[in-house]
Amino acid sequence: MNVKVGWGVPGTMAVARGDDAGRAPSAVAAYRLRDAVYLNLTNRCTLRCRFCPKFHGLWTVGEARLRLRASEEPSVTAVIEAARALGSCTEYVFCGLGEPTTRWSALLAVAAALRTEGRPIRLNTDGLASLIHGRDVAPELAGLVDHVSISLNAADERTYEHLCRPSRAGSYSAMLAFAARARTFVPRVTLTAIAGLEGVDLDACARIARELGVAFRARPLESTDGRSFRVR
Ligand code: SF4
């Protein structure tokens, strides 16, 4: 299936890490997308989603390069400074081409520091933080994050496993359990799924969100830069 994705957005602005003078531009710790500032903590992830841009060679959002080797992951201070350097914004969003909760303590530290700016903070996540870290981490989001957007991606485990190729057993049920827990500690929780992917039943996804008492949003696959790729 050919789908177009919203990466490589014109009009983005980014702050590169400061250790790359004279060399090819390094990955950014923060980047601006429309009115929000996005925070790029890591490329690591326990999923290998077929629709993930990085598995199709797409590592940029506008001018912002998001490809990070593990040794290049920005420090907490670097992320905070990069975010602040981008100036005023409507929202801070933890979101890159990896799962931000992989760096759980860094995420909490960045959120706590940016909290003082008085802007909403959103976490875009695969919802697997508690599974990865081996404990219920949802309570630790209380007071630090205003909105958690969780990639539901499919209305059943079989479709999820086909689309997201999890490396950890029990990922689908762990993601649903995290959504239920997050609802207790975070003011706003949204489940999302991509419209237009073969086998994804958006109505059933919305029903799951309703049953969990959280919001649902179908993520569009609209092209912003004209590039497209085939989801294998
Ligand atoms: S969860 Fe996100 S970063 Fe991880 S593979 Fe899926 S789309 Fe990519």
Task: Please give the pLDDT value at position 35.
Answer: 95
Q: What CA–CA distances, in Å, run from 55 to 12, 30, 51, 216?
A: 22, 21, 8, 26
Whether residue 183 has pLDDT greater than 60: yes
Strands of the chain, DSSP E: 2-4, 13-16, 28-33, 36-39, 60-61, 64-65, 91-94, 121-125, 147-151, 188-194, 215-219, 228-230
C-beta 97 within 6 A of ligand 1? yes
Q: pTM of this prediction?
A: 0.90
Query: Residue 99 Cα, ligand 1 centroid: separation in angstroms?
Result: 6
Q: 154 vs 22, which has greater pLDDT?
A: 154
- Residue ranges of the domains in the chain? 2-230
CATH class of the domain at 2-230 = alpha beta
Per-residue pLDDT band for 19 (boundaries 50, 70, 90) equals very low
Statement: residue 216 has pLDDT above 60: yes
Distance between CA 29 and CA 33 in Å, rounded?
13
> What is the model's pLDDT at position 227?
56
Q: Which residue has tokens 């860094």?
A: 106
Instruction: List, for residues 47-101, the tens digit of each pLDDT value.
Output: 999 999 998 888 998 889 999 988 899 999 999 999 999 999 999 999 989 999 9
Residue nearest to atom 6 of ligand 1 (CA): 49
Instruction: Taking residues 24-35, report their average pLDDT.
Output: 87
Rounded CA-CA distance 95/78 in Å is 16
- Across the range 33-58, mean pLDDT stands at 94
Q: Is the CB of 45 under 6 A from ligand 1?
A: yes
Percent of the chain with pLDDT strictly greater than 90: 75
The span from the CA of 165 to the CA of 178, in Å, is 19
CB 58 within 8 A of CB 66: no
Say yes or no to pLDDT of 223 above 60.
Answer: no
Question: Does pLDDT of 221 surpass 80?
Answer: no
Query: Where does the pLDDT of residue 224 fall: very low under 50, low under 70, confident under 90, or very high at 90 and above?
Result: very low
Task: Please indicate whether residue 220 or residue 196 has the higher confidence score (pLDDT).
Answer: 196
Residue 18 has pLDDT above 50, yes or no: no
Q: How far is the CA of 121 from the centre of ligand 1 (A)?
A: 20
- Above pLDDT 70, what percent of the chain? 84
Q: Is the dihedral of CA 15, 18, 23, 29 positive or negative?
A: negative
